[in-house]
Amino acid sequence: MAQYQITVDGEVLHQLFRGDEGMAKLLESVVNQVLHAQVTEQLKAAPFERSEERLGYRNGYRAREMKTRVGTLELRVPRVRSGSFSTELFERYQRSEQALLLAMMEMVINGVSTRKVRRITEELCGTSFSKSTVSELCKALDPIVREWNERSLEAVAYPFVIVDALQLKIRKGGRVIPQSAVLAVGVNAEGYREVLGLMIGDSESEASWSEFFTWLKQRGLTGVDLVVSDHHGGLVNAIRRHFQGASWQRCQVHLMRNVLDAAPAHCQHSLKAKIRLMFNAPDMETARRLLDDILSEYGSRAPKAVACLEAGFEDAMAVMALPECYRRRLRSTNGLERLNREVRRRERVIGIFPNVASALRLLGALLMEQDEEWTTGRCYLRMDEYWQWKKAKDEASGEKTTSEGDQAA
């Protein structure tokens, strides 16, 4: 743990014994000295010090307020010319600030009285906020979420895209109406996941999904090679319409559920094991042989289940065309389902949104946090092998096209 030498001004010490404001002034002085010591530690040089170990130069300060239980602190956060000044001092404060903001959003949405808002915020951070202040804080999130949700996607290609929807309850025209929040997650050319966008519509119809995909493409979504989703009729039709040339991977987990729901209870366990073995086959030849075994063994015992499996086999095994190292994570929508569960956990607190704007505000803020964590965290997929595979595939396709053209001539 770092240790710093702190000096206390006599006037500040005198104020400490005159009332509550003295504690805030003392804490403010201490924190500012800690920030000064930390920037010196980061740059490896004091102000105006000539040193061969110096890693950068100071560039003034920026003012920042921090609300605490003893009052509001006026801090002077150091700035550096190259890079940025990093400190762990504000991490806990930032988490508390986000939690406070989310709590106030939930209180406003649920119609909590001004008196209760004041009491809760006083307990959280030692200060109170009026209802109008809370409302303005919530509205301040709208342009931030909108800018992120409408950002350009033209910088890189997104070979893999996973799409799904969440069902919400939103109040419209005095009635509570079910709405669908459709969202897409993409794996970019470098192998990092990104939340591509969120849109709220009346249903999961083909028209709604087409509007969503058109919006993504207008923002620059390109290079899609594989789209992963469940077997919703309108969604599948929209994918085939807007991503011609890309493969559609039917979620294997959803197909498994559909097959087992159609199978008699007495053979569900053994059938599940057989299907799982088929999904984990090393190649399509082995997978088809295992499918034939399932059809012959369960054809008379579970005809509806077998028919469902046979009809969905090719779409559920589209991922087999990719190198083996990519199949496990792209054969289902499980990664997006986990994100949905996290969003649902927060959304469940509200229950019914008062309007579409409030739903976009909360869901967008949550997705922004997850998107930042993904893009700054560990790489999701190593893409070197994919690009080599794609290059070889494109070259083979070009040679085949040229050969066919020569024969026609």
**343-383 tens-digit pLDDT:** 887 777 667 777 888 788 878 888 888 898 898 888 999 99
When pLDDT is averaged across residues 310-329 and rounded to a whole number, the result is 93
pLDDT tens profile 26-37: 667 777 777 777
User: Contact, 112 vs 354, CB < 8 A?
Assistant: no
Look at residue 75 in the predicted model and tell me its pLDDT: 79
User: Contact, 217 vs 239, CB < 8 A?
Assistant: no
Asked if residue 409 has pLDDT above 50, the reply is no
In sequence order, what are the residues at sequence separation of 6 or more whose Cβ sits closer than 8 angstroms to the Cβ of residue 129? 104, 117, 118, 121, 137
Q: Is 286 exposed, middle or buried (0-12, 13-18, 19+ CB in 10 A)?
A: middle
pLDDT tens profile 167-191: 888 888 878 888 888 999 999 999 9
Model pTM score: 0.67
